Amino acid sequence: MSHHSHNEVHTIGYGVFIFVWLGLVVLTGLTVVISGVHIPKVAVLVALLVAATKSSLVVNYFMHIKYEARLFKVVLLMGIVTVTIFIGLTFFDVLYR
Amino acid sequence: MKSIHALTVEEHRDFEGARLGMWLFLLTELILFTGMFILYAMYRLKYSAEFHRASLELDVVIGTINTLVLLTSSLTVALSIEALKRNSRKLALWMLGATIFFALVFLVNKYFEWSAKIHHGIYPGSQELMQRSLGEVIYFNLYYSMTGLHGLHVLVGMVVLIWLFVLIARKSQKKYVVHNPHVEQLVGSEIAILKGEKDGWLVDKIGDNVEQVEIKITYEPKAGEVDLPNIIKLENAGLYWHLVDIIWIFLFPLFYLIS
């Protein structure tokens, strides 16, 4: 959408937001239910996976990254990569000490 | 001799730039919270049994309610922006009001949650907490600092949303600033602005010591005109609010749901 003017107003639609919200509510229910099931080791990963899915819904639709120009996606990706390096290197250090 | 100088009035507005600036700020927030999440992860790795035991003391029901409250507030702020873009100011204000209400509900819940814990003698540095194992002490210290920092963000977001509610309710105003690089040419002249066909001209004299000519024109937009200046402000406030929501999306399972 980079050929658009910088000051244009984009609408997405009320329905899309309500649908996304329903998805978020269902995923919240899912995390609570799963936490009751005893699955050691993987439990944290499942919880984080659900949280990541919820976040991506919020980022893509509520924060409309999906509809933004490529520059925005690159900036966000840079942020995520930076944070992943922080977390990855710290884990690498702590686990193999 | 009379000469006429034309002054240019420019409106500088870059919505994409404003949004990009907001995103860059949000990345600094992301890095701030990541630091705390890393600290949490390392201690949870070391004291997983103690973290599990301590987490059982948190109220999952209140946590779940607060999650739903925050998710719904994200929906209402998104709907408010959409309504303002579609020029339904009334719906936008209702949705914004709902968002502020949910923010308040979240904070009140947090207040009751924290005061119940403090009442039971569990707070950083308390005698009761110091008698417990190190892992549990660390868990509760992290709980207070992370949900506290998040709560502070909710409070700031709520204040920003209230400010926007006032701005939108008051209707938009536009201001123009006129710059002329050769102000000395204007000494002793008069400045005239056409107010409207009926209202005629507004005339003012420019003094000898003129350094800059600044004309501020405020007017209310016509009915049916999209409220552009407020849309970008509300959109950026919305981005901040959604970030606060995302942080909670991670805090909730990590503190309340350790199985």
- Concatenating the DSSP letter of every residue in B73-136 gives HHHHHHHHHHHHHTT-HHHHHHHHHHHHHHHHHHHHHHHHHHHHHHHTT-STT-HHHHTS-HHH
Predicted complex ipTM: 0.90
CB count, 10 Å around CB of A63? 29
Nearest-5° Cα angle at B62, B57 to B65: 150
Angstrom CA distances, B65 to A24, B26, B40, B107, stand at: 13, 26, 23, 12
**Dihedral of CA B85/B89/B93/B94: which sign?**
negative
Q: Looking at residue B184, what is its pLDDT? A: 66
- Cβ–Cβ contacts within 10 Å for residue B175, how many? 12
Distance of alpha carbon B144 from alpha carbon A72, whole angstroms: 33
Instruction: Tell me the average pLDDT across B235-258.
Output: 96
- What was the pLDDT predicted at B203? 77
Q: What are phi and psi for residue B241, nearest 5 degrees?
A: -60, -40
Residue B1 pLDDT exceeds 60: no
pLDDT of residue A24: 97
Nearest CB to A58 within list B30, B82, B242: B242
Direct distance between the N- and C-terminal alpha carbons of chain B, in angstroms, rounded to an integer? 88
Nearest-Cα residue of chain A relative to residue B49:
A40
Residue of A nearest to B240 (CA): A63
Whose CA is closest to B30, among B144, B141, B153, B160? B153
- How many Å apart are CA B173 and CA B115, to the nearest integer? 44
d(CA B252, CA B246): 10
* Higher local confidence (pLDDT), A61 or A97: A61
Contacts of B41 in chain A (CB under 8 A): 87, 90-91
In the predicted model, what is the mean pLDDT of residues B85-108?
96
Q: Closest CB to A21: pick one of B37, B64, B72.
A: B72
Q: Which residue of B has its CA nearest to A18?
A: B75
Three-class SS state of B201: strand
Is B78 close to A17, i.e. CB distance below 8 A?
Answer: yes
What integer is the mean pLDDT of A61-87? 95
- Does the structure show a pLDDT above 50 at A2? no
Q: How far is A59 from chain B (nearest CA, A)?
A: 8
Chain A residue numbers touching B249 (CB-CB < 8 A): 51, 54-55, 58
CB-based contact B246 A17, cutoff 8 Å = no
Q: pLDDT (tens digit, 9 = 90+) per residue, A10-58?
A: 888 899 999 999 999 999 999 999 888 877 778 888 999 999 999 999 9
Three-state secondary-structure class, residue B162: helix
Q: What is the pLDDT of residue A44?
A: 87
Q: Max alpha carbon distance in chain B (Å)?
A: 91
Take residue B68 and report the two structure tokens written for it: 């739903």
| B75:A17 CB<8 A | yes
* The pLDDT of residue B5: 60
* Residue B76 predicted with pLDDT over 90: yes
Predicted confidence at residue A28, as pLDDT, reads: 95
Average pLDDT for B197-205: 74
Q: Which chain A residues in 24-83 lie under 8 Å from chain B, judged by CB atoms?
A: 24-25, 28, 31-32, 35-40, 43, 47-48, 50-51, 54-55, 58-59, 61-63, 68-69, 71-72, 75-76, 78-79, 82-83
> Which residues does chain A have within 8 Å of residue B34's beta carbon, measured at their own beta carbons?
83, 86-87
- Whole-number mean pLDDT of chain B? 87
Task: Tell me: pLDDT of B38 over 50.
Answer: yes
In this predicted model, what pLDDT tens digit does every residue of B15-36 receive, in sequence order? 899 999 999 999 999 999 999 9
pLDDT at residue A95, as a whole number = 87
Would you state the pLDDT for residue A38?
76
Q: Which of A10, A84, A17, A76 is nearest to B20 (CA)?
A: A76
Cβ distance of A75 and B24 shorter than 8 Å: yes
Instruction: Tell the residue number behind the tokens 């103690």, with chain if given.
Output: B50
Average pLDDT over residues A56-73: 95
What global pTM score does this model have? 0.84
